[in-house]
Structure 1
Amino acid sequence: MLRLRNSILSHLLSTSAASPVWPLHRHLSVAAAAVSPRPSFAVEKYLIDTCGLTRAQALKAATKISHVNCPSNPDAVLAFLAGLGLSSADVAAVVARDPKFLCADVERTLDPVVLELNGLGISRSEVARLVSLVPNKFRSRYIVSKLQYYLPLFGTSKRLLRALNHSTNLLSSSLEKVVKPNVAFLQECGLGACEIASLCNYVRWILSSKPQQVWAMAMRAEAVGVPRGSGMFKEAIQAVAFLSEKEIAIKMEQLKNMLNWSDAEVGIAVRKAPLLLVRSKDVLQGKSEFLTSEVGLEPAYIAHRPALLCYSLEGRIRPRYYVLKFLKVKGLVHQDRDYYSTVVISEKFFMERFICPHKQAAPHLAEDYAAACRGEVPTRFRFT
């Protein structure tokens, strides 16, 4: 009998992708009625044979649902998961993560949650992703009101799912006591909804932190010279979120010594590019040495254009310097062409302005530039 019921379940799981959600657990109920139930229900065996868990997973999961004494509700839940399009492996992962999901009421909780989420514009595949990410939250109807709040903040369900993938605490935290006060405070600091959503990708716990902690972050951002309302305030929050006041002071001193900056120049650079505070010391050292020694830039020049230190040395700073130097030597651009302006423009504009116009005069320039981006130094770029 168990083999027959499992065969029915396996068939439903394998064909669910093309089937609607609702009929599956009803079909399963009919199938279950046609098969005589076992006199006793072995939870651990069910988890292995029907749900696909390993023995170790089943041993752990069984302790959380030891009260389950028949397969009817777990069978309906498995059919529900199959109806959402979850594969057998996905179903096993959900059950292993939250064994109590097998105890959820399909008709009173799970089905209504799906309907309400669909009504918010969350697609069937996205609902399936939500179940995989937060099964323990999905079996509560409170998830709907929380997602209803987050959707306008993140703009799209895709962005919201990305944020939840980074931090499921968004669904654990109190909206009224934690999340909403944090959002309101960040908005008072001049951040819009898009910026707050973007910030969550880097400081994943910012909305679920105690409001006092978020306020302290803002204070540290202001202490490095970036005022609230500034266009760089989001980056400043992002930079100081992982640093204490002592660590910030150490980073500032390192920048000062590395580039021979004055205190004022360090302040200028950090205000314009707060993320310098979280860059690797070794990486910054390599960039600063190249910019001062090979390009010949003065420390003060770099301090007022700190974005130079934020680009890749291998992928942008060095290759574009070689191209500009080559073009100047060949007389193809003015000698006073500013290096900084060639670094900050996008790759598309760089190609349009500095590579494509010189196809006849320098037919190998494009391939030499590509080679330089791979870390090579073509012979034509060597002038010593």
Structure 2
Amino acid sequence: MLRLRCSLLTQLLSSPSASPASHLHRLLSAAAPAVSPNPSSFAVEEYLVSTCGLTRAQALKASAKLSHLKSPSKPDAVLAFLADLGLSGTDVATLVAKDPKFLCAKVDKTLAPIVAGLTGLGLSRSNIARLVLLSGNNFRYRSIVSKLHYYMPLFGSSENLLRALMRNPYLLSFDLDGIVKPHVAYLHECGLGACDIAKLCIYQPRMLTTKPERIQGMVARAQNIRVPRGSVMFRHALHAIAFHSEEEVAARVDYLNSTFRWSDAEVGIAVSKAPSMLTRAKESLQRRSEFLISEVGLEPAYIAQQPTIVCYSLEGRLRPWYYAVKFLNKNGLLKRNPSYSTVFTETEKAFREKFICPHKEAAPHLQEDYDATCKGQLPTNFRFTRAKNRL
């Protein structure tokens, strides 16, 4: 009987086209009269391997937490519930290996009401299935509904919340009133609006659960790099220095100083305008410095006043856009030499409309070579070195 039951459940979980709950119930009901299950003969480890898809090692470890089970009735009901949500066999194996006691949850009194509550908050069944995998054992507690009732407006959407949970799956484990809400209130006091807090915490969700003194230290370090509370860049500064010590932040500022040949005043201006520079790898910053100063010929003081250009992709934007404009200038196709701070901040669409499309006739290879350069395929001697004479 166990082997038949295992086969039916495994087939259902691996079949995306099945109608999971009703189909499983019908199949198991049809199979049940054949043999009355013998409680003393239920082999948990074998069930975990054959029905749930765990490896033998995983099953051995998980079975220790399920030794009290005497029959497969409760796990069968949970598996049917998960299949009805759309979880695949692989998903189920991952979930059970991480939280074996999920198989002991009561479907009618716990799991089904939770799904109903989450549906009422506007979550789709596919998002609820993702939440099951991300939240782990937190999904077995009905308090998850009240927590999401708070988190959904905070993050702005279910997608944003799920993205945050991917980075911090323990977010749902923390006390809202004692930890999370005071942190949100403090960020509000620092001048961040609801949208800023959502954007910050999607990428740094630990800021909602860390110790109060740590978040206060982050705010102090953001101000130390000349980004005051309430400023437009304050959220970006918090994101850049989050969970980095004062020494680590100082070392990053010093590296920018030496790499771009900035004075203390200039590095202060640059970091206050573009704190995301502090998140860039040293090699990446070095390459940008060499390109902007040595090849493009920009002065360090000029870059400090326009520091956002340091944050753009070297291969995907800075280099191909510079070569295109340089070519157009060299061949007399521009009425005036544009400022590179303006050129580099154009959108891709705007750049093509201003600098590529108008010159298709005079420079027939321009678009082709520009596209190749954007992909890192710089032609030998950069093919657009000569343009056709204009009529």
Equivalent positions of 1:300-319 (< 5 A) are 300-319=301-320
Compute the TM-score of the two structures, normalised by the length of structure 2.
0.92
8 A Cα contact 1:203 1:238, kept in partner: yes
Write out per-residue CA displacement over residues 112-160 of structure 1, whole angstroms, 9 at most, x where no aligned residue. Answer: 1111111111111111111122231111101111111111111111221
Equivalent positions of 1:207-356 (< 5 A) are 207-356=208-357
330-339 vs 215-224, which deviates more? Answer: 330-339
Corresponding position: 1:145 with 2:141: no
Write out per-residue CA displacement over residues 7-58 of structure 1, whole angstroms, 9 at most, x where no aligned residue. Answer: 443454356755375x467557745752401241221111112222111000
Letter in structure 2 aligned against 1:296: G
Match of 2:112 in 1: 111
Equivalent positions of 1:87-166 (< 5 A) are 87-166=88-167
Match of 2:4 in 1: 4
For 1:273 and 1:149, locate their aligned partners in 2 and report how far apart those are by CA, in whole Å. Answer: 32
* Alignment CA distance shift 1:293-1:7 (3 Å): closer
Write out per-residue CA displacement over residues 340-360 of structure 1, whole angstroms, 9 at most, x where no aligned residue. Answer: 111111111100111111112
Secondary structure of the structure 2 residue equivalent to 1:152: helix
Match of 1:170 in 2: 171
8 A Cα contact 1:342 1:350, kept in partner: yes
For 1:20 and 1:379, locate their aligned partners in 2 and report how far apart those are by CA, in whole Å. Answer: 59
338-347 vs 85-94, which deviates more? Answer: 85-94
* Alignment CA distance shift 1:192-1:28 (3 Å): farther
* Alignment CA distance shift 1:154-1:176 (3 Å): same
8 A Cα contact 2:135 2:170, kept in partner: no
Write out per-residue CA displacement over residues 72-130 of structure 1, whole angstroms, 9 at most, x where no aligned residue. Answer: 11111111111112122221221111100011011100111111111111111111111
For 1:279 and 1:14, locate their aligned partners in 2 and report how far apart those are by CA, in whole Å. Answer: 43
Match of 2:191 in 1: 190
Letter in structure 2 aligned against 1:13: L
Write out per-residue CA displacement over residues 202-251 of structure 1, whole angstroms, 9 at most, x where no aligned residue. Answer: 32311121222111111110110001111111110011114211122222
For 2:354 and 2:57, locate their aligned partners in 1 and report how far apart those are by CA, in whole Å. Answer: 61
Instruction: Please provide the CA RMSD for this pair.
Output: 2.0
Percent sequence identity is 59
For 1:124 and 1:31, locate their aligned partners in 2 and report how far apart those are by CA, in whole Å. Answer: 28
* Alignment CA distance shift 1:141-1:292 (3 Å): same
* Alignment CA distance shift 1:213-1:31 (3 Å): farther
8 A Cα contact 2:363 2:384, kept in partner: no
For 2:257 and 2:74, locate their aligned partners in 1 and report how far apart those are by CA, in whole Å. Answer: 65
For 1:381 and 1:243, locate their aligned partners in 2 and report how far apart those are by CA, in whole Å. Answer: 45
8 A Cα contact 2:204 2:239, kept in partner: yes
For 1:80 and 1:175, locate their aligned partners in 2 and report how far apart those are by CA, in whole Å. Answer: 29
Letter in structure 2 aligned against 1:263: D
Secondary structure of the structure 2 residue equivalent to 1:185: helix
Secondary structure of the structure 2 residue equivalent to 1:336: coil
For 1:60 and 1:237, locate their aligned partners in 2 and report how far apart those are by CA, in whole Å. Answer: 41
Letter in structure 1 aligned against 2:296: V
For 2:297 and 2:16, locate their aligned partners in 1 and report how far apart those are by CA, in whole Å. Answer: 65
For 2:382 and 2:267, locate their aligned partners in 1 and report how far apart those are by CA, in whole Å. Answer: 38
8 A Cα contact 1:232 1:271, kept in partner: yes
For 2:281 and 2:93, locate their aligned partners in 1 and report how far apart those are by CA, in whole Å. Answer: 41
Match of 1:376 in 2: 378
Match of 2:389 in 1: none
Match of 1:359 in 2: 360
For 2:28 and 2:146, locate their aligned partners in 1 and report how far apart those are by CA, in whole Å. Answer: 31
Letter in structure 1 aligned against 2:192: L
Letter in structure 1 aligned against 2:13: L
Write out per-residue CA displacement over residues 265-317 of structure 1, whole angstroms, 9 at most, x where no aligned residue. Answer: 11100000111122222221221122112211111101100111111222211
Per-residue deviation at 1:372?
2.2
Secondary structure of the structure 1 residue equivalent to 2:144: helix
Corresponding position: 1:67 with 2:83: no
For 1:338 and 1:8, locate their aligned partners in 2 and report how far apart those are by CA, in whole Å. Answer: 69
Letter in structure 2 aligned against 1:2: L
For 2:14 and 2:303, locate their aligned partners in 1 and report how far apart those are by CA, in whole Å. Answer: 61
368-377 vs 278-287, which deviates more? Answer: 368-377
For 1:256 and 1:37, locate their aligned partners in 2 and report how far apart those are by CA, in whole Å. Answer: 74
8 A Cα contact 2:191 2:229, kept in partner: yes
Match of 2:205 in 1: 204
